[in-house]
Amino acid sequence: MKKYILISTIGLLFNSCSEKEATVSEAPAETSAEMTADAKPYPLEVCIVSGEELGSMGDAVSIVHEGQTIKFCCDKCTPKFKEDPAKYLSQLEVKPAE
């Protein structure tokens, strides 16, 4: 009886985890083409978080943050950016020519 309860509990745990994962990965429809069309273009050839060349780890990941397109080398850099955007956005500031 204890084995049955344990197996049932584990089954429910895995089932609920996969359901949460599916809802987290769904993106709202308004964030795609509509928001990117009005966003400023991304001026760098590298990931704003890691400094890796865009495309070096597969397709680049793009988001729009406050009207600015931001690109990452992979999806693992996105949460790091969202933790402290100001830290990374300073890289986009245009520096005057000397």
9-65 per-position pLDDT tens digit? 555 445 544 333 332 333 343 444 555 678 999 999 999 999 999 999 999 999 999
Query: Where are the domains positioned within the chain?
Result: 2-92
Q: Which two tokens stand for residue 27?
A: 């993106």
Cα-flanking dihedrals φ and ψ of residue 68, to 5°?
Answer: -115, 130
d(CA 46, CA 12): 42
The model scores a pTM over 0.85: no
